[in-house]
Amino acid sequence: MKKEKRRITSFIGVWLMVIMLAASLAACGSGDDAKSEESSNENAATTATDTSDGYALAQKDEAARANTEVPSVDQTASGIADTAAQAEFHRQVIYTADLHMQVKDFAGTRNAIDQLITKSGGYLLSSTENASSDRLSGSFSIKVPAKGFNTFIDAINKLPDKKLDKSIKGEDVTEEYADLTARLKAKEVAEKRLLSFMENAANSKDLVAFSNELAKVQEEIEQIKGRMRFIDQNVDYSTINIEMYQTLSGQDGSEMDLDEKKGLMTKASNALHKSADMIVTLGRALVIIAAFLLPILPIIIIVGLIIFYIKRRKRRAKPVTVITPQQNDPTPPANDNLE
């Protein structure tokens, strides 16, 4: 019995020791877990902070790089322009003609010009017509295909009953067009980069910055494209400016110049008016001279009277010399020949 009690007691003691040991191990394990959890949380927080700060810095660097990359792309435009200049650009020349015409039949010539415009495939850009008692005039701006520019000028030159003065000039815009092409490529590259930056933007601030920069680049792209369209249109269609006039005819139906239209009475009237104008001008000049001499006229009169009085007294004081004629001597002259 005693042996069984000892066994039971030892068995219970062993189990108690095992339970106590397990409890102490569990307490140590929980403490270590808490410490490790705290340390892991701290490390996680630190890592998160560092990551967010680093990401923000990366975004700022990215934004700064974007801002610097846009002008850097512009700086490469010169290199692209050199490459584009080496390419085979066909010559871009804008032709403009200015024609000054005196015609006998304004309406007929106008209809002939309209037919030439339709035949050449061009169009009337603007027109202005004026009429007065002795003159009909008009201004026309015409666009014709560049290939038919010389043909149109030759057709105008063949119109009857006219006097024609013409001036033709061409503006070579090949270099400008090549530069615009290079700038457009550079701006399109910058646009693509800004779009990619916007897709990777981490916050609204960076997104707004990229969006503003993108708007500027897109505006410049539209300006470049607009200028290129303007050049293309003016190269494809040349401009012809026509100034046309007709002096109206007299009652007999024959056209007369302005000088021939004036009759003898008109010319005589003009001569009379000119003579009257000369007399009026001379009278005005005399009045001006009199007004100028009026203040000093009394002095001139006084000085003149003094001079006249002095000369008169000198004439009176001068002695008068009386010349008497010689009397004939009755004595005859001696004769030397007498002996």
Give the CA-trace dihedral at 318, 319, 321, 322, to 10 degrees: 120
Structure-model confidence comparison of residues 208 and 64, the more confident one: 208
Distance CA 277, CA 283 (A): 10
- 170: amino acid identity, one letter: G
Dist. CA 133–CA 249, nearest whole Å: 10
Strands (DSSP E) along the chain, which ranges? 93-103, 123-131, 135-145, 162-172, 237-247
Question: Residue holding tokens 């410049």?
Answer: 220
Enter the tokens of residue 134: 């002795």
Instruction: Report pLDDT digits (tens) over 235-252.
Output: 999 999 999 999 986 544
134-178 tens-digit pLDDT? 899 999 999 999 999 999 999 999 998 889 999 999 999 999 999
Buried b (16+ CB within 10 A) or exposed e, 206-238: bbebbeebbeebeebbeebeebbeebeebbebb
Q: What is the pLDDT of residues 88-111, one digit of tens each?
A: 457 899 999 999 999 999 999 999
Model confidence pTM above 0.85? no
Looking only at the bridges linking them, the beta strands covering 123-131 and 162-172 are unpaired
